[in-house]
Amino acid sequence: MKYNTLIKHIETQLPKNSLKISSLKKKNPSWDIKRIINKTGIEKIWYTKKNETALDLATKASKKILKKVNKDTIDSIIYVSQSPEYFLPSNSCILQNRLRLKKNTKAFDINLGCSGFVYALSIASSLIQSNMSKKILIVCTDTYTKYIKNNDRTNKPLFSDGASATLVCKSKKKLISNFIFGTDGSGYKDLIVEQGASKSNFMSNTKTSLYMNGSKVFMFTMSEIPKNINEILNKLSIKKKKINKFFFHQGSKVILETLQESLNLNKSQVYNNLKNLGNTVSSTIPFALKQADKEKKINNNDVLVLSGFGVGLSWGSCVIKWKNLK
């Protein structure tokens, strides 16, 4: 028997500290703040304290889920992050202990960024469809601000720290359809933190901060994502006008607007919550889904496209039928 998958709950967690992009002008007088905000669409970012980690944010988001569900019914954790607590053990194992989940819980990490939620959702769907899991906690969490220097004009006004916890469970109806993925490892240097892992032990002049070649990441997005979206819609014989909302990775305003134009979508079809949130990396899609659901901008039986893309270079998309969050 083949089982179906439902996104039942989404909870999110931001740090307490926030920063208005306009305030960056004081330490960086040469920056054209108006132009930066117009390009990114971001007016506020969120950042963790020095002793606050991605796992701390993940724990808080997950505990919100546990207030809505019996924790003993959760049988799997999929932990998505590029801000690990340690190189080993897996962060998911530490989270299992923090949440006091049962010892026969499956727990593993995925080292992916902006495409990570879609990848995790596909794995969760496979586990449920094969009856190997019944309730899965997908946790996405990143603290990119710890890798960013204050004078980095490309990244400082863009990235926020944040975490999301998504409960996925069995459904009687088919709500999550095909996934299509892609990888282009030739672009790995276009979004990278060089120092900290094994290679930095024998490399000289490795960079400790996040490097992003913004123009190349943008060109990659426009080259691959429209093709990816068209491929999955053609595979399912769905016309773009039948999609109620497209939830792209919230990379920046210019990325969302260019994707809208490239795919010939109506502005109302593309969801954007960047203004007071920023780019939370692997959590952008869960943050957007939860906010859109709360604002009643998506409703029961709406057909949605989820599409994540970025560091790797990696991308993935899927089509889902929405059920309002509990």
Whose structure tokens read 């490097």? 211
Catalytic residue among 9, 140, 155, 249: 249
Selection from 162, 136, 130 nearest residue 8 by Cα: 136
Q: Which two tokens stand for residue 295?
A: 């604002």
Q: Which one from 228, 244, 273, 279 is the annotated catalytic residue? A: 279
279 noted as active-site residue: yes
Query: How many CB atoms sit inside 10 A of residue 177's CB?
Result: 15
Kindly report the three-state secondary structure assignment for every residue of 246-270.
EEECCCCHHHHHHHHHHCCCCHHHE
CA distances from 36 to 21, 123, 128, 141 (A): 9, 37, 43, 25
Alpha-carbon gap, residue 103 to 296, rounded angstroms: 38
Q: Pick the catalytic residue: 114, 140, 169, 318?
A: 114
Torsion of CA 244, 248, 250, 254, to 10 degrees: -90
170 bridge partner residues? 5
- Alpha carbons 100 and 19: distance in angstroms, whole number: 34
The radius of gyration computed from the CA coordinates of the chain, to the nearest angstrom, equals 19
CA distance to 53, 57, 61, 121, per residue, from 95 (Å): 12, 11, 11, 19
Residues known to be catalytic: 114, 249, 279
